Structure 1
């Protein structure tokens, strides 16, 4: 059996095709694993960024709540002062009316 007989036999070509297919599949697997690792890293980075963003938003929300609480307290104090002013004005009006009625 000479080299030309071996090269023209179907057995050799079948082995070459199977070897090529195995090589292609192995390379595709390497690429797939590489892409998967990149996606996992991207996901982890995204989670860290999201956590930082959430922490900042929670800090801002807490500060906003404190500011709203202070505003509510101030408005209550203003309402109390306005009530007292209204009572004083009412008292002054009553006194003025009594003075006008006496005259």
Structure 2
């Protein structure tokens, strides 16, 4: 029996060695090439220290927010509620006649 197990053990050891070599190679190989560092942008001293123009500031200001979507949503919900309540009122059952 030991003669049969010995080749299997040698095959398993050889496989483990090859697998270990593959893992070592993969660990040493970079997966992605490193990106080059971006060049620093030249600093413009005059433009960086100058105060922003008032007209440019107003033009760049965010537009006024509108609540159009909110108003439409609220109106839709109120409309659905009114229709449901009207339907309940119209479809209500007739009261039973009083006993004679």
TM-score in terms of structure 2 length: 0.39
TM-score in terms of structure 1 length: 0.38
The structure with the largest alpha-carbon Rg is 1
Between Structure 1 and Structure 2, the one with more helix by share is 1
